Amino acid sequence: MIPDGSVDLIVTDPPYLMNYRSNRRVATEKFRHIANDKDATALISQYLAECQRIMKADTAIYVFCSWHHIDFFKAEFEKHFKLKNLIVWSKNVHGTGDLRGAYGPKHELVLYGHKGRSLLRGKRCPDVIDCAKVPSSKLTHPTEKPTELLRLFIRNSSDPGAVVFDGFGGTGSLCEAALVEGRNFIVFEIDREYVETANKRLDSLQLLQN
């Protein structure tokens, strides 16, 4: 329902198609499984096509993903966008996984590209970005992204007043980042509880700003 060519920037965090469940949380069940985090390749393919449709000419898109399905995400991304960087988000701490058989996972990936050509604002950044994770005690979503990182992408690739889009909003990290940076947002989320958490988060943020 979003009109063609109406969005200034996409910073999106789709399900990584990993059936994600943190080892640390299985016992406590703090979080549910993420919707569409398994066998949803058709959804991601359709989604990226829709992203291309709703973006204005000469705008940018950032798509979070992990190395596990990078082949799929990169191939789908390149059907619609000019890939400019595979950004590495380097976290302050590493995760768990195969404790004795694999290196500790400490990064996630972000496909960055253009519809047409988009120029970066401000000082040029390297393609490896250090940014701390949201501490476990403060997480409201199992794969919540730090607003500092989202704010950096928003500042680098849009102007104040721009409309930023994410079809997979979780508990509203992108909404908060957009508001703080003086941008507008359109964000979808399928899980009602996450939407409620996001709305509360935005209510308290607006109280702080008033």
Ligand X SMILES: C[S@@+](CC[C@H](N)C(=O)[O-])C[C@H]1O[C@@H](n2cnc3c(N)ncnc32)[C@H](O)[C@@H]1O
Q: How far is the CB of 101 from ligand X (least distance, A)?
A: 26
* Choice between 163 and 187, CB closer to ligand X: 187
CB of 47 to ligand X, least distance (A): 8
Closest distance of CB 171 from ligand X, Å: 4
Can you give the binding site for ligand X, defined by CB under 6 A? 13, 15, 34-36, 141, 143-145, 167-168, 170-171, 173, 188-191, 194
The three-point CA angle 58-63-66 to 5° equals 150
DSSP symbols for 107-175: EEEEEEEEES--PPPSS---SEEE-PPPPGGG-SSTTPPPHHHHHHHHHHH--TT-EEEES--TTTHHH
List the structure tokens of 206. 């607006």
Q: How far is the CB of 150 from ligand X (least distance, A)?
A: 8
Nearer to ligand X, 100 or 192 (CB): 192
What number of helices (H) and strands (E) belong to the chain? Answer: 5, 7
Q: Between residues 118 and 143, which has the closer beta carbon with respect to ligand X? A: 143
Nearer to ligand X (CB atom), residue 8 or residue 13: 13
